[in-house]
Amino acid sequence: MWDFSTDPEFQAQLDWMDGFVRDRIEPLDALFGGLTYHSVDEPLRTMIAGLKAEVRERGLWACHLGPELGGQGFGQLKLALMNEILGRSSWAPIVFGCAAPDTGNAEIIAHYGTPEQKERWLTPLLEGEAFSCYSMTEPQGGADPTMIRTRAVRDGDEWVITGEKFFSSNLRTSSFIIVMAVTDPDVSPYRGMSMFLVPSDAPGIEVLANIGLGHEPWGEGMHAHVRYDGVRVPAENLLGGEGQAFVVAQTRLGGGRIHHAMRAVAMARRQLDAMCERALSRQTKGEALAEKQLVQDAVADSWIQLQAFRLMVLHTAWLIDQSSTAEARRQIAACKVLAAEVLSDIARRAQHLHGALGVSNLMRFPTDVGTMMGIMDGPTEVHKVSVARSVLKDHRPSDDAWPTEFGPKRVVRARRRFDELVDELAPTDEQRAGFDRLVQSSAAADVTVAQMQAYLDATAGNL
């Protein structure tokens, strides 16, 4: 059954969320947008806690996780519909307990953590009392995790971690870090790396720089270049089995990528809204910009891209609910590619339509966010390769040198099949004669088919 509707009870929740995000949370973005992921002072802390309490009361807190973990277990499709609203705002995902990178980190602790690990690391994360950090990328190579050099060496009841990581988001405000390190350099990196839970204040952790994005001032960014200099953690801080880091990372990144794509739908829609408002409001040469066909072209392209992207995200979310992030890997990679492209395209068109105002510091268009989406959690090229490989697995090479769609081959095959059908359907000579007249007047008459077959015989094996 195909059904694109939302059940009325959940739609009522979405409607409540829409009003709540616009009226109560978006003002925080305008005033304190730079403070997300910071441990904020009173009274802002009290205000955020109050908003979180309202979300809990509505049964909408941490919806990405199952009830046994304190979430609602709505599944990815409902989460996608929620993120279409939450993604408009930088504070909203935090207020609803489903912000990156904490969602992905929570998911892998939930999946692979021991009961003790869940108690110590996951519970405070779900309560919204702690932030977490994921430390995988290294300065010498991010897109290729087989380049990871950070080592963890077993020493009695402890692991000792040594290495350098780049772009470890939110480390400066996190309580703990999930670090990926090589534990066995003698086997393939796919089996020789492990994940560790590391308190952010462990001795030996040195932040070399907190790197910012775009025009953020030096030192005020959220993405740490961090050195682990003999950082010791107890053996029980290994997350998942030894050598399992790749499997854990795939679980984390699969979920994280589709959540980014869901939020990108919201961001792109906000840009489309801004574009349409501007087109209808701004007059030029005696009419609104919206009357100009080239402007209509930009609006139409944006809506079409957004609609296609949104449906792909929703379908992928549905697919994950039916199977798993691993099963939906191709679709997730495709959504990740589209997220970057669609957001970049629509934000750029919206900015362009605002003229000088659009490039001024009076407005903000997230063209850079689109660019970033094409890099973080793996660059677009890598995801395209993954999509292409997966698509190609569903196909086979042609059985000879000519393509299956090659005209003479299609006609000859169709004629053979037609003859078989005639044998089945036309037992009498009279009926066969009727079919024969029909086929002789078609593109597959005897003489043509004979010539084509001769051509195929003479060439197909020799190309």
Ligand X SMILES: Cc1cc2nc3c(=O)[nH]c(=O)nc-3n(C[C@H](O)[C@H](O)[C@H](O)COP(=O)(O)OP(=O)(O)OC[C@H]3O[C@@H](n4cnc5c(N)ncnc54)[C@H](O)[C@@H]3O)c2cc1C
Site for ligand X, rule CB under 6 A: 101, 134-137, 141-143, 167-169, 223, 372, 375-379, 381-382
Q: Under a CB-based contact definition with an 8 Å cutoff, are residues 220 and 250 in contact?
A: no
Nearer to ligand X, 113 or 142 (CB): 142
For residue 397, give Cα distances in angstroms to 105, 361, 403, 412: 41, 54, 9, 19
Nearer to ligand X, 88 or 223 (CB): 223
Instruction: Give the pairing of strands 158-169 and 223-234.
Output: antiparallel
Closest residue to ligand X in the complex (CB):
142
Nearer to ligand X, 17 or 98 (CB): 98
Nearer to ligand X, 50 or 190 (CB): 190
**Shortest reach from residue 385's CB to ligand X, in Å:** 6
CA angle 335, 340, 346 (to 5 degrees): 110
Nearer to ligand X, 72 or 183 (CB): 183
Nearer to ligand X, 235 or 375 (CB): 375
Nearer to ligand X, 61 or 112 (CB): 112
**Shortest reach from residue 335's CB to ligand X, in Å:** 16
**Shortest reach from residue 225's CB to ligand X, in Å:** 11
Nearer to ligand X, 380 or 453 (CB): 380
Nearer to ligand X, 372 or 460 (CB): 372
**Shortest reach from residue 43's CB to ligand X, in Å:** 30
**Shortest reach from residue 42's CB to ligand X, in Å:** 28
**Shortest reach from residue 289's CB to ligand X, in Å:** 33
**Shortest reach from residue 360's CB to ligand X, in Å:** 24
**Shortest reach from residue 372's CB to ligand X, in Å:** 5
**Shortest reach from residue 105's CB to ligand X, in Å:** 9
